[in-house]
Amino acid sequence: MKTDDAIAEADKVIEQLKAQPVGADELQKAKNLEQSSFVFAQDSIFEEALQLGVWEMLGDYHLMDRYLTEIDKVTAADVQRWRKISGREQLHARRAGADRHPAHEQAAAAPAEPCGTLPRSTPRIRCCR
């Protein structure tokens, strides 16, 4: 499949998603998955402390207490509104390369030698993918 064909197919799917509302079963399944992931991510004191730190950086760790109830409030109309706003923007950003992680840009600018030939003082750049 050529790149242009893949982009055309992605555009087609995005347009379909924007036109079709999410079903009640699909929405509930997504809510359950997000809520269970949130709860199970706190399976240790370390993970819970990590989550508290993240929520504090986002503005207030007390927001964490409301997260599950806020997920319950998401409606099919909310999902549809998000689809219409973000679907095309995300696709265009990917086409433009805007979704590249900064580490990729650093890696592209780094010397071409393998890591083993670089001096120990040279920072190693790890790709997120």
Please choose, from the candidates 30, 29, 48, the residue with its C-alpha nearest in 3D space to the C-alpha of residue 39.
48
Q: What is the mean pLDDT of residues 50-70?
A: 91
Q: Render pLDDT for 2-42 as a digit per residue (tens, 0 to 9).
A: 888 888 888 888 788 778 888 999 999 999 999 999 999 88
Q: Render pLDDT for 73-85 as a digit per residue (tens, 0 to 9).
A: 999 988 888 877 7
Q: Render pLDDT for 41-50 as a digit per residue (tens, 0 to 9).
A: 888 999 999 9
pTM of the model: 0.57
Instruction: Tell me the backbone φ, ψ of residue 99, rounded to 5 degrees.
Output: -90, 5
